[in-house]
Amino acid sequence: MSGEPADLRGPLEAFAADVECNLAEARLFRAPGRINLMGDHTDYNGGLVLPAAIDYETRILCVPSERVKLESLDVEGTVDLSAAGDEGCVEGWGRYIAGILKVLDERGRKPQGLTGVIDSSVPVGRGLSSSAALEVAFATAACALAGFELEPLELAEVCREAEERVAGVQCGIMDQAVAILAEEGTATLLDCATLKTSQIPIPPWLSVIAIDSGVERSLAGSSYNRRRRECEEALSAVQSYLPEIRTLSEIGEDRLDEAITYLDELHAHRLRHVITENARVLELALVLSRGAPEPDAATEEELRSIYAASQASLVDEYEAGHPNTNKLVEIAMEMEGCLGARQTGAGWGGSIVVIARSDAARDVVPSIAERYLNATGKTASALICAPAGGASEITGIMNQPKPT
Ligand code: GLA
Q: Is the pTM of this model over 0.75?
A: yes
CA 177, 208, 288, 33: dihedral to nearest 10 degrees?
Answer: -10
Longest dimension (CA), the chain: 70
pLDDT at site 222: 85
Q: Are residues 117 and 258 in the same domain?
A: no
pLDDT digits (tens, 9 = 90+) for 168-219: 989 999 999 999 999 999 999 999 999 999 999 999 999 999 999 998 876 5
Ligand 1 atom closest to the CA of 169, numbered from 1:
8
Q: How many CB atoms neighbour CB 213 within 10 A? A: 27
pLDDT digits (tens, 9 = 90+) for 323-332: 999 999 999 9
> Do 280 and 166 lie in a common domain?
no
- Please give the average per-residue pLDDT across 299-317, as a whole number: 98
pLDDT given for residue 53 in this prediction = 98
80/155 Cα distance (integer angstroms): 23
How many Å apart are CA 388 and CA 397, to the nearest integer? 20
40 labelled catalytic? no
Ligand 1 atom at minimum distance from 43 CA: 10
Question: In a mutational test of the pocket of ligand 1, which residue from 34, 38, 171, 318 has the highest number of ligand atoms less than 8 Å from its CB?
Answer: 171
Using pLDDT thresholds of 50, 70 and 90, give the confidence band for residue 40.
very high
Answer yes or no: is pLDDT of 18 > 90. no
CA of 264 to the centre of ligand 1 (A): 25
pLDDT value of position 400: 76
Paired sense of beta strands 186-191 and 88-90, if any: unpaired
C-alpha span between 339 and 306 (Å, rounded) = 10
Q: Is residue 221 part of a domain?
A: yes
Quick check: is 190 in a domain?
no
Q: Is residue 93 part of a domain?
A: yes
Q: Do 299 and 333 belong together in one domain?
A: yes
Residue 3 has pLDDT above 80, yes or no: no
Q: Give the rounded percent of residues in the chain with a pLDDT score beyond 70.
A: 97
Task: Encode pLDDT of 208-264 as tens digits.
Answer: 999 999 988 765 678 999 999 999 999 999 999 999 999 999 999 999 999 999 999
Partners of 89 in the β-ladder: 80
Residue 198 belongs to a domain: no
State the pLDDT confidence band at 29, using cuts at 50, 70 and 90.
very high
In 3D space, the residue among 363, 364, 365 whose CA is nearest the CA of residue 382 turns out to be 365
Nearest CA to ligand 1 atom 7: 345
**Nearest ligand 1 atom to alpha carbon 129:** 7
Query: Do residue 151 and residue 31 come from a single domain?
Result: yes
Q: Are residues 231 and 379 in the same domain?
A: yes
| pLDDT score for 403 | 66
Residue nearest to atom 2 of ligand 1 (CA): 171
Mean pLDDT over all residues of the chain? 94
Q: Which of 174, 278, 280, 352 to mutate to test the pocket of ligand 1 (most atoms within 8 A of CB)?
A: 174
Q: Which of 35, 43, 130, 351 to mutate to test the pocket of ligand 1 (most atoms within 8 A of CB)?
A: 43
Say if residue 370's pLDDT is above 90: yes
Dihedral of the CA atoms 221, 223, 227, 229 (nearest 10)?
Answer: 70
Please report whether residue 260 resides in a domain: yes
Helix 174-181 and helix 152-167: axis angle, to 10°? 140
pLDDT at 362 over 90: yes
| Interval between CA 111 and ligand 1 midpoint (Å) | 31
Q: Which residues line ligand 1 (CB under 6 A)?
A: 40-41, 43-44, 171-172, 174-175, 345-346
User: Confidence band (pLDDT; 50, 70, 90) for 2?
Assistant: low
Percent helix, strand, coil in the chain, to 5, is 45, 25, 35
Nearest CA to ligand 1 atom 8: 171
Sign of the torsion angle spanned by Cα atoms 350, 278, 137, 403: negative
CA distance 98 to 175: 19
Q: Which residue has the higher pLDDT, 269 or 403?
A: 269
- The pLDDT score that the predictor gives to residue 404 is 62
Residue 153 has pLDDT above 90, yes or no: yes
Beta-bridge partners for 387: 54
306 closest CA partner among 272, 345, 358, 342: 342
* Distance, C-alpha 345 to centroid of its chain: 7
In a domain, 309, yes or no: yes
State residue 77's pLDDT score: 82
Range of 113's domain?
A: 5-185+389-399
What atom in ligand 1 is closest to the CA of residue 41?
12
What does the alpha-carbon distance between residue 381 and residue 216 come to, in Å, rounded to a whole number?
Answer: 13
pLDDT at 337 over 80: yes
CB within 8 Å of 277: residues ≥ 6 apart: 38, 39, 40, 41, 42, 47, 310, 313, 314
CATH number at residue 333: 3.30.70.890
Q: What are phi and psi of 80, to 5 degrees?
A: -145, 95
Mean pLDDT in residue range 376-381: 96
pLDDT score of 291: 84
Given a contact cutoff of 8 angstroms between Cβ atoms, the answer to whether 160 and 172 are in contact is yes
Whether 194 is in a domain gets the answer no
Asked whether residue 234 falls in the same domain as residue 139, the answer is no
Count of the separate structural domains present in the chain? 2
Residue of 55, 119, 175, 212 marked catalytic: 175
